[in-house]
Amino acid sequence: MRKEWGVLALLMGLAGCVPPPQHRVTLDGAPWPVDAAGRPATGETLLLILVDYRGVPVEACIEKSSGNDVLDASAIKHMTTHLYQPEMKNGFPASSYLRVPVNFGSAADAAVAWPPSQAARECQPQPVPGISPSELALVAQKQFTVSPTSAGEVPGVGQPWPADANGKPSSIDAYAHVLVDPAGHIVAIEGLKPDIYTAFNTHASHTITGMRFAPSNVQHWEVVAFHFHGNG
């Protein structure tokens, strides 16, 4: 059973703090991990979590490691077993990304809703532990990996694949929000974020227009992710 967490609790730092190791000798039922010097390990794990419009965390990845695999695994375990208050977008609940810092041994910072401030993410979220097969299937239908055609074009657009500042085929991870009505029909599509290349935005728009979404009991925003890989 997931416990519901509100955004206020997150902002107060209640969701991402683990007591310092000197105050607990175990972590998740096992001995607290130690560093190379044999001292109790400390650090901060920065998670990127995809929370759907119901507040259910469905995907997560480690955007910045604490430097200890055991601490990182514990961060994912604890921060993906709660319900979050979904983001509201233009009056409707929305799927969204959250950056959640988890401090092991110090006070946690706030969790913040993501839009990206950079051209690409450092990690691609993976299904969280315990996600049901039906939820996993819904997530998988909203993830697209795109590579250049044999002619070096963006598929279905007929435009050259964009080049980066070094003249190499660009690679970027981006997402678009889609407003879906209770019947699963598309009401509105927002452009890709980050919006850097027109050809990628056009491809995303064409792809989303052909998508079908599962019916629900509320009009809401879905998030659709695109992974554009210039090297195939």
Question: Phi and psi (nearest 5°) for 84?
Answer: -105, 155
pLDDT tier at 1 (50, 70, 90 boundaries)?
Answer: very low
Of 151 and 80, which is predicted with more confidence?
151
Q: What is the tens place of the pLDDT at every residue in 129-172?
A: 555 566 556 666 788 999 999 999 999 999 999 999 889 999 98
Domains of the chain: 3-130 (3.30.1150), 141-228 (3.30.2420)
**What is the pTM assigned to this prediction?**
0.65
Of 37 and 200, which is predicted with more confidence?
200
Q: Which of 2-11, 33-42, 59-68, 177-186 has the lowest mean pLDDT?
A: 2-11
pLDDT tier at 200 (50, 70, 90 boundaries)?
Answer: very high
Q: Where are the beta strands (DSSP E) in the chain?
A: 3-5, 17-18, 26-27, 30-31, 43-51, 57-64, 82-84, 87-89, 92-94, 96-104, 112-114, 126-127, 143-146, 153-154, 159-160, 172-180, 186-189, 220-228
Query: Closest Cα partner for 218 from 50, 84, 88?
Result: 88
Percent of the chain with pLDDT over 70: 74
CB 155 within 8 A of CB 200: no
Q: How far is it, in rounded angstroms, from Cα 80 to Cα 111?
A: 13
Other beta carbons within 10 Å of 27: 20
- Given this model, what pLDDT does residue 101 score? 87
- Given this model, what pLDDT does residue 189 score? 93
Q: How far is it, in rounded angstroms, from Cα 43 to Cα 101?
A: 10
Mean pLDDT of 196-210: 94
CA dist 6 → 58, 82, 217 (Å): 17, 10, 21
Other beta carbons within 10 Å of 125: 22
pLDDT tier at 128 (50, 70, 90 boundaries)?
Answer: low
Q: What is the tens place of the pLDDT at every residue in 165-186?
A: 889 999 988 888 899 999 999 9
To the nearest 5 percent, what fractions of the chain are helix, strand and coil?
15, 35, 45
pLDDT tier at 225 (50, 70, 90 boundaries)?
Answer: confident
Rg (CA), the chain: 19
Joined together, the tokens standing for residue 117 give: 């401030």
Other beta carbons within 10 Å of 26: 9
Q: How far is it, in rounded angstroms, from Cα 82 to Cα 4?
A: 6
- Residue 36 contacts by C-beta under 8 Å, 6 or more apart in sequence? none
